[in-house]
Amino acid sequence: MNPSKSTQNIFEVLKSYSLYLAFLIIFIAFSLLNENFLSINNVLNIIVQSAIIAIIAVGQTMVILTSGIDLSVGSIVGAVGIGIGLLMVAGVSIPVAVVLGVIMGIVFGLINGVIISYGRVPAFITTLGMMGIARGFGLALNEGKPVAGLPQSFEKIASTSVAGIPSFVFYTLIIYVIMFFILERTKFGRHIYAIGGNRDAARLSGVKVKVVEMIVYLFSGLFSGLGAVLLTARLNYATPVAGTGYELDTIAAVVIGGTALSGGQGKIIGTLVGALMLGILRNGLTILNVSSFFQQIIIGAVIIIAVFMDKINEKKNN
């Protein structure tokens, strides 16, 4: 075998699995730097902390695959959380409050989708505006005050476990299995990739671009609503500032997971790994007593490197 060809094949394999190798290297590095990192409690803590971002990032992945962006997810989390809290305090049953909260998230996402698809307003501008609207709505619902005194049974949504495994793990796995099937095995999933790959070609091929794009933002609102339910249950109180920064965390998880910002390329499983990698970085740096200021610098650098590598691969493919 030609040595140069063999080297090239090895490089291609390493590039294909670079995300998982990076994940493994970071995990091993923190394990060696601090013995407490590998403790069962800490590992479970990382999983629980990463799960909410991972779930919200599912919708962000769908949006970015169409070459869009959703900056409103964090604000929707805060608004939905307050809405759920106020409903339960008012005596509404937990299932009804949860369903109504998720519907609220869907409505926010649907408004985004309609404005972007049919109003032809750029996604960045639309979702930036919705970020302010949803945050203001959440603050106005209870005059900027948190909602306490939620039913103890509501907390069980987040605190229960099966065979020592937190319920968050099962929620996340179920959602990712379903969305993997939708994106990889259905016509709707193929249309999402087609729109991100070449919008005009997709339209000429018979894809209802506006409808698919609108539904994608609806899904983003749906997963923001689900994330709000889990976050509120975990805290067992609602605050209008919940979800602050989640828009950046979800975009980071998607980009680190290998989804191209230009759209059309990426896998949902990569987003899950990206969310876990963010969780490991934050947790590991905290255990090593790295200040939160430097944590932001390091995580920001990781995001820039991930986008830079994506652009390099994009140029090579072209």
- Buried-state track 123-141, b at ≥16 Cβ within 10 A, e below 16: beebbbebbebbbebbbeb
Beta-carbon count within 10 A of 215 CB: 19
Residue range 40-89, pLDDT digits in tens: 889 888 988 899 999 999 999 999 999 999 999 999 999 999 999 999 99
Residue range 243-285, pLDDT digits in tens: 998 999 999 999 999 898 889 889 999 999 999 999 999 999 9
Residue range 166-204, pLDDT digits in tens: 899 999 999 999 999 999 999 999 999 999 999 999 999
Determine the Cα–Cα distance for residues 197 and 195; give it in Å rounded to an integer: 5
Determine the Cα–Cα distance for residues 252 and 235; give it in Å rounded to an integer: 24
Amino acid at 55: I
Instruction: Give me the pLDDT at residue 113, please.
Output: 97
Q: Which residue has the tokens 């899904």?
A: 219
Which domains, from first to last, does the chain contain? Answer: 42-317 (1.10.3470)
Lookup: tokens for 308: 């830079």
Determine the Cα–Cα distance for residues 285 and 254; give it in Å rounded to an integer: 21
pTM for the full predicted model: 0.92
Determine the Cα–Cα distance for residues 100 and 13; give it in Å rounded to an integer: 46
